[in-house]
Amino acid sequence: MYAMKYMNKQKCIERDEVRNVLRELQVMQRLEHPFLVNLWFSFQDEEDLFMVVDLLLGGDLRFHLQQNVRFKEQTIQLYICELALALDYLQRSHIIHRDIKPDNILLDEHGHVHITDFNVATVLKDSETASSMAGTKPYMAPEVFRSFVDGGVGYSYAVDWWALGVTAYELLHGSRPFEIRSSTAAAEALHIIHRQHLRFSSVCSRATLDLIRSLLSRDPSSRPSRLSDVQASPYLTDVDWDAVLQKSVPPGFVPHKGRLNCDPTFELEEMILESRPLHKKKKRLAKSRDKRSTPLVDDVYLSVSQPMHMQSSLDSLTEDFIAFNREKMKQRLVSDSPDVQLMTAANKHHDGQNNNNNNIILTTGSSSELH
């Protein structure tokens, strides 16, 4: 089963979100990993853009924090390992997520974590850095604020590892390490990070505190920012990383299967605010097609239902949107494999000898990482 997200084209244009939506699609189409929310299909119709992704029913970590779940140290350790594997994969794919936080970490039904929301992700080329202030302020690294305040030298993948440290601290203590809010000015946030001392709970092991403290290093050059850096931590020396990647290590916290793992009030508000629900789409589109296309000159048409500038933006969005089908992509990868081609040729030769015209059916196994 999958989850489907749909976005109204006109609203995307009105809210100036087209660039972020298209960038998110482009990023997700090139990724697949056990600890990401993976994109399977993307398509469009006249009104909406659609994204079909992994279905994760365990809710996000923000919801569970709000439900006063107290995560055990062993559970947080597994989360750090799983998220570190995901961040390492993103880094090898030259991608900074830029918005790692409990709200963007979903749990599956077994309790494993998955990173979602690539709306502000960016792709780096070679040794270049990013410079724009993007993400959620309480989880932004100091170099992001510094780049905005005084130009700085930009920032790189280390900002995601800082956000991992903030998230781990919050899961451990139930509150964030720095008193920064979305309304806090960048210069003030930078001042808070450099002046405020970190306070840790006395009930946690020293190794745990040392790892989180290192992730929250204000200097990105001394901050763990690679998987190998994290693996070297005394806190994680006994971890079987292959077992973690295969999801063979059971999480200490498993979401309730018989309960809704989200805020029903928020979900209901979203449904009420959706003014153009999907179940009425067929009639609405048919009606729109009937009254559309008043002829102008030489087979050029103008929609009577949209202002000219909006129609132009809609046309551009429709043209720039890239449809995606991961299943077909996987089939192509399998069929292009030399081993598969050799097997196909051998079978054709065998079929010719036996006058047998049966088709060869190729099946794919479990999802593999795309590097």
Pinpoint the residues of the chain covered by CATH 3.30.200.20.
Answer: 2-55+262-322
Integer Cα distance of 291 and 212 in angstroms = 61
Using CA atoms, how far apart are residues 222 and 319, in angstroms rounded to an integer? Answer: 45
Structure tokens at 169: 């601290």
Q: Give the closest residue to 137 by CA, choosing from 79, 87, 172, 98.
A: 98
Q: In the prediction, which pLDDT does 140 show?
A: 98
Catalytic option among 48, 88, 99, 160: 99
- The number of residues making up the chain comes to 371
Q: Which two tokens stand for residue 325?
A: 């089908």
Taken in order 12, 13, 14, 19, the sign of the CA dihedral is: positive
* Among the ranges given (20-34, 143-157, 179-193, 345-359), the one the predictor scored with the smallest mean pLDDT: 345-359
Does position 171 have pLDDT exceeding 80, yes or no? yes
Say whether 339 is catalytic. Answer: no
| b/e sequence 10-48, b meaning 16+ C-beta within 10 Å | eebbeeeebebbbbbbebbbebbbbbbbbbbbbebeebb
The tokens for 290 are 């009937």
CATH number, span 2-55+262-322: 3.30.200.20
78-129 confidence digits (pLDDT tens): 999 999 999 999 999 999 999 999 999 999 999 999 999 999 999 999 889 9
Q: At what angle do helices 308-320 and 18-29 cross, to 10 degrees?
A: 10
Q: Tens digits of per-residue pLDDT, 310-338?
A: 888 888 888 989 999 999 998 888 877 66
Q: Per CATH, is 61-245 categorized as 1.10.510.10?
A: yes
Task: Indicate where the chain has its CATH 1.10.510.10 domain(s).
Answer: 61-245
